[in-house]
Structure 1
Amino acid sequence: MKQKSFLIITLILFLTNTLHAQQQSESEKPYSIVIKGGHVIDPKNNINTLMDIAIKDGKVVLVAKNIDGSMATQLVNAVGMYVTPGLIDAHVHFFWGHDGTSYMNAPAGLPADGFTFPSGVTTVVDAGSPGWKTFELYKKQTISGSQTRVLVMLNIVGQGMAGGKYENDINEMDPQKAAEMAKKYPNDIVGFKLAHYNGRTWEPTDRLLAAGKLANLPVMVDFGGANPFLPLDSLFNVKFRPGDIYTHAFGGNGSASLNGRESIVDISTNKVKPYVIKAQKRGVIFDVGFGGSSFLFNQGIPAIKSGFYPNSISTDLHTGSMNNAMKNMPNIMSLFIALGMDLQSVIKASTWNPAQEIKRPDLGNLSVGAEADIAIFTLRNGEFGFYARDGKISGKNRLETEMTIRAGKIVYNLNAIAEPNVLQNPPRQRPANSEVKPSTK
């Protein structure tokens, strides 16, 4: 019996020491992850070729032609795939809750991590869901509770995007208080937003711009409607500073009507209006903000055909848009490829461009030393369809997210392309004697 016990103890010690040695060996490897064989597109660094990427301590530590995969704890096989910086979605609505209305602390908003990582998105900008009165609740509920990096364009309306009652109340638009909140939280607030105001006055826009000037931050405008509409030429070339953002750029009334919201393409000539081109050249930012119905093919097709590309591709992600024509970032990126944009331009408009728009040049790139936010895509070939409120188009390619890495950790892995594949949050194990006993009451 003593000999048997001795053998059992010896075996346990051997297995323990072997496991410890293996763990020590893994921790001593130079890299935590190596991504091998992928086609890297990094617009900031002008990379558009086959490269390997090494990650350690949450950072990109090497981008090179051939990195030894055995030097990593995890090896990702990206052969035949595209490797890009983690996507930046510059227009989302993530103030999810039940105590508010519209997109402010309400069910129409979304919890971040469930709708970012499966799309290759690692950073989002919430476009005005919280205002200066509700931002601190948003920070507690959404920013602090998300692995996704969540930044905010603070609504000039105090309550935020709480619906028409609030969004059409000019008295709720306080530049000083908005600027004070932005200065209090400079790591979270990257600009200011005006949305959905209906009426023919520049007062809301002027108050928005006042906040932007006080805090030295860009502003984003989403016009409501007016009869007749407020002229975009005045917004772009009189009101806006270089770096200010017009979202839903390919929307509007899409017609010759003088009511509602003006569009950027003149449908009588099928050309982008000259003052729009002038504005983009002087630094005004044109953002897609596809949304539930904020994109028109009669705007997008002639614009892209003429070489007028959006500065940033974004979703306007909420419960309505994700289950409608929009769906997610890869779908909209694929739509713009179908319209005629090349893949590298689409990636740039989804990574490096929005990083610069929000004054965060540390994001949207794969520079050595950058936080390892990375997306891996397959570009599928086939027959695909894309639609909007004014029709549909076909395309030959569709981007599909294979993997998302956030801060050096794999957070989404569609086809198990890592070796080993490790569950980041393995299921809890019930203790052996934890059977639930019937109540005796």
Structure 2
Amino acid sequence: MFKLKHLLVLALWLCSLTLSAQKSSKVYGIIIKGAHVIDPKNNIDEVMDVALNDGRVALIAKNINADQATQVVDAAGMYVAPGLIDIHSRLGYTLPDGYTFRVGVTTIVDAGDSDYESFANFKKQIIDRSTTRVLSFLNIKGGDYKGGANEKGTGDKIASESAKLALANKEIVGFKVDFVGPDWSPVDRGVEAGNIAKMPIMLDGGRNHPYPSLKDLFTKHMRPGDIYTHTYTIIEDINARDMIVDQQTALIKPSFPEAQKRGIIFDVGHGSAFRYSNAIPAMKAGFFPNTISTDLSAGSTNAFMKDMMNVMSKFLTMGMSLKDVVKASTWSPAKAIKREELGHLSPGATADLVVFSLREGKFGFYETAGYKMTGNKKFECEMTIKGGRIVYDLNGIASPLNNFFREGNQFRW
């Protein structure tokens, strides 16, 4: 019995030495094998392996030895891209993790649900409690978001206080102006804050009849790098804003491509009022969005928008190339919000990635006016990696299988 006991101890000791030696021989935490990598910043568009370690991209190469990784992802026949960045959402006080990781979004920007008075509470309730990286466009008008007439009266104090807060909080990426008219003074207050903080504004505007001149807006009030969202929106019931396309002639209005050449960033901001009658003629005329975003809310996820990958699928169906759709969902939004450490797979970059498939079949993509496009390809998220950790795995393509969800119950509050 004594000898058997010692033999068991020796066997366990030898086993622990073997496991320790195996662990020390591992160079990488995760290797993704055999996927088609699309990284627009670095002009990569081919089948490569991707190695991650310590929350960073470690190596992209044609063939990386799988034995060097603790965990291997078999992504043959799939695509790998930087984690998606949705720069227009309306989170309110809803935690985003249930909406983001399952469609490859690792960074989401709330567009105006907090201002300089309420941001501290938004940070505590949403930013600090989310595994998704949550950033914020600070509402420039003051007071909790109410819209409408509440946004007409902005002043110097709001601009200066908002800028001061933005400079003190890395989660703030700019200022949201939800404009109602009749003039552009609220935009000017947003720009004032933007000039102080050296940040962009995001404008959701034009709610006045008659419409104020968008040409004046683009040339005299907005700056290169400022963001015009809801580019393809029509709100017919209140005749709320000017449109990118003349609905009678189906011709794009020249002020839009002129502004884009000048450096204004045009964002999709799909929401519940996106219209093909704006998007299709504009794209046929060669006008494509700079950034793709959802305007995510409880209503839009159950209506025509659904999620980030559904919006991306719409633009793929309308003729935007796969590489350009990925760019408008990764590197371009990263630049727009001046977070250039995100949105790419350069060695040393934050290891935020999405593994996706392009499903083939017959898919319907529809919108609020009842128009439907039929496409034969659709984005489907296979895996999401945030900061080097697998946070979503649709079909268990990681080996060994992921244990993130058992470690501390990250998604329970």
Structure 1 length as normaliser, TM-score? 0.88
* 2:302 maps to 1:318: no
Segments of structure 2 that go 5 or more residues without pairing to the other structure are none
Query: Partners of 1:13 and 1:136 in 2: how far apart?
Result: 57
Segments of structure 1 that go 5 or more residues without pairing to the other structure are 97-109, 430-441
Query: Partners of 2:63 and 2:10 in 1: how far apart?
Result: 39
Residue 139 (structure 1) shift: 1.4
Aligned residue number for residue 174 of structure 1: 158
- CA 254–336 in structure 1, closer or farther in 2 if over 3 Å, else same: farther
Query: Partners of 1:7 and 1:230 in 2: how far apart?
Result: 89
Instruction: After TM superposition, list the pairs within 5 Å mapping 1:262-301 onto structure 2.
Output: 262-293=242-273, 295-301=274-280
One-letter amino acid matched to 2:28: Y
Residue 15 (structure 1) shift: 3.3
One-letter amino acid matched to 1:55: L
* 2:329 maps to 1:345: no
Q: Which runs of 4+ in 1 moved over 3 A?
A: 162-173, 252-255
* 2:124 maps to 1:140: yes
Instruction: After TM superposition, list the pairs within 5 Å mapping 1:40-439 onto structure 2.
Output: 40-96=37-93, 110-164=94-148, 166-170=150-154, 174-185=158-169, 187-195=170-178, 197-223=179-205, 225-253=207-235, 259-293=239-273, 295-390=274-369, 391-426=371-406
Farther off after superposition, 206-215 or 405-414:
206-215
Contact 2:153–2:186 at 8 Å: present in 1 too?
no
Query: Partners of 1:176 and 1:170 in 2: how far apart?
Result: 11
Residue 188 (structure 1) shift: 1.1
Contact 1:91–1:289 at 8 Å: present in 2 too?
yes
Query: Partners of 2:397 and 2:378 in 1: how far apart?
Result: 19
Residue 427 (structure 1) shift: 7.2
Query: Partners of 2:157 and 2:258 in 1: how far apart?
Result: 30
Contact 1:34–1:76 at 8 Å: present in 2 too?
yes
Secondary structure of the 2:106 match is strand
Rg larger in structure:
1
Contact 1:132–1:177 at 8 Å: present in 2 too?
yes
Residue 265 (structure 1) shift: 0.9
Contact 2:305–2:311 at 8 Å: present in 1 too?
yes
Contact 1:151–1:188 at 8 Å: present in 2 too?
yes
Contact 1:312–1:349 at 8 Å: present in 2 too?
yes
1:234-257 deviation line (CA, Å, top 9, x unaligned): 1112211100000000113479x9
- CA 383–285 in structure 1, closer or farther in 2 if over 3 Å, else same: same
1:339-391 deviation line (CA, Å, top 9, x unaligned): 11110000000000001101111110000110110001010111000111121
Residue 152 (structure 1) shift: 1.0
One-letter amino acid matched to 1:64: A
Residue 428 (structure 1) shift: 7.8
Residue 146 (structure 1) shift: 1.6
Residue 224 (structure 1) shift: 5.5
Secondary structure of the 1:315 match is coil
The percentage of counterpart residues that share the same residue type is 48
Secondary structure of the 1:129 match is coil
Residue 423 (structure 1) shift: 1.4
Residue 171 (structure 1) shift: 6.0
One-letter amino acid matched to 1:85: P
One-letter amino acid matched to 1:75: V
One-letter amino acid matched to 1:142: I
Secondary structure of the 1:322 match is helix
1:300-334 deviation line (CA, Å, top 9, x unaligned): 11111222110000001111111111111110000
Q: Count the aligned residue pairs.
A: 408
One-letter amino acid matched to 1:155: N
Secondary structure of the 2:290 match is coil
Aligned residue number for residue 107 of structure 1: none
Residue 24 (structure 1) shift: 4.8
Residue 163 (structure 1) shift: 4.6
